[in-house]
Amino acid sequence: MIAERRHPATDRVASAGMHAGVALVSFAAAWLVAHDRARSGILLVAAGACAAYVLRRRDNGVYAGAALIVLIPYQTTLLLHQTSIPRVAVLIGAAGFVASAAGVERSGVQRGNRATVADLAAAAYLLFAFISWFLTPHVRSSLQATINAMLPLAFYAYGRGLASRSTRSLAWVLTSSGAAVAMTVLFEYFIAHRPLFIDPTTYLWNAKGGLIFRPGGVFGSPPAAATVLAMTALIAFGLYSEARGIRRQLLVMMVALTVGGLFVTFTRAGLIAFAVGALAYVALVRPSVLPRAALGAMVATVAFAFVLMPRIANASWYQEGILRQGDLSARQSYWRQALPLITNSSTHLFVGHGINSLVIGRPELPGRPNADLAAAPTLLQIGPHNQYVRTLFEEGFVGLSILVTWLVAAIGAAVAVARNGRLDSGRQQSAACAAALIAFMVASSAGDSLRNPPTFAVAALIAGMAVTARQRGRWGDAR
């Protein structure tokens, strides 16, 4: 447990600093508006309000950072080119920790923060990313890209540093953020019929060539939207038992919106991931119900095949959005192209071609790509559409082993809590974390999940929550 006490002198300094900050921000915003810079003034006021919220206590920074990276398109920059949303979100989370360390006197030692297998694997994954950058000369110029690719991993540390009883609040933040994102997906599909948060001319999922329009909302990508929506919907499952009255009704509405948004992305990997995660949740929380749930799923499948299938078989949304003939075979061809390049030398097999080697030569990272990729230009253009194949290609067997160890260890920590003790809200939250991470791993088999900062950040945050809950259960901290 952490005992928090503030000295009177600290309170006076904090109060004076708050008043001075409000006055300074107000003056600066008024000056900007008076000089026809209304947008900058509004951003400054918003930043001041966010700073006041974050500096109140550490976990507020995690809430604000998680909401920001989910709700705002990650390509957005604020005023300066370098202030991208992922960087701002990571800094907001860090600011909460710094403010907590500076303004709160801690008595005693927080139990539950000892290093675990998942912690060591996360640290090793970060370290090996930079080793991979150092060992491969053709990617040596892409240090900034490597840093940007690893930034979302900071959310794992934020999840590990959550204070007692904060995981529930964070689950509500993720649930509500997922529902808000789902509304942007639904709006694009049913009303706008075009992407609203990315250049339509560069959008890869436009309705062309006889295919249905697949919305991606603020993510600008249906696969990324589907993966995040699947995880946030599953996280909401852990909140249902404790929600009462209007909170339960609101939760049901948010889950319905999230699942609806997930469906209209027409991303089969996301739908399958959500179904597998939901079954995993039921198996952890109500294992006795699993046979009946499996029987119900079989009955529903038979009813769908014989009753609904004849009615929707010729519908355009089903033919173009769900079936999409040849989509799986195309992905398999990408994997077959990558395999010879992975095994063409022992160095490539064990440590890969170098992190970001599948990005160099594309507009976001100019440079000369690896010569091996001349034999497989498709991999350079669109990637392997499989995070495990991508990691094996870029970071070899070592990098892939570390990544899988990290995710499996986090799932194991959540499962340990979910299967131990009486059925309470803490156990259900851990089951929801396990289900969300399982869904992430399933979705990663058909998409480059870690290349999308919001997807990586949400998965890392949930992994941190899962490991933290496991250690609190072990060490007896307040839940």
Please give the structure tokens belonging to residue 124.
Answer: 């090793």
Percent of the chain at pLDDT exceeding 70: 70
What's the rounded mean pLDDT across residues 81-104? 74
Q: What does the alpha-carbon distance between residue 327 and residue 266 come to, in Å, rounded to a whole number?
A: 12
Task: Give the strand pairing for 3-5 and 105-107.
Answer: antiparallel
Q: What is the mean pLDDT of the chain?
A: 80
- Which one-letter amino acid corresponds to residue 347? T
Say how far residue 138 (Cα) sits from the centre of its chain: 29
- Would you place residue 226 in the very low, low, confident or very high pLDDT band (cuts 50, 70, 90)? very high
Concatenated DSSP letters of 89-103? HHHHHHHHHHHHHHH
Burial level of 241, CB count in 10 A (0-12/13-18/19+)? Answer: middle
Q: In the structure encoding, which two tokens stand for residue 335, read together?
A: 């994997």
For the stretch 241-279, pLDDT in tens is: 888 889 999 999 999 999 999 999 999 999 999 999 999
Entry pTM: 0.85
Whole-angstrom Cα distance, residue 29 to residue 44? 6
- What are the DSSP calls for 229-246, one per residue? HHHHHHHHHTTTTT--TH
> Among 80-84, 211-215, 372-376, which stretch is predicted with the lowest mean pLDDT?
80-84
Percentage of residues in the chain having pLDDT higher than 90: 41
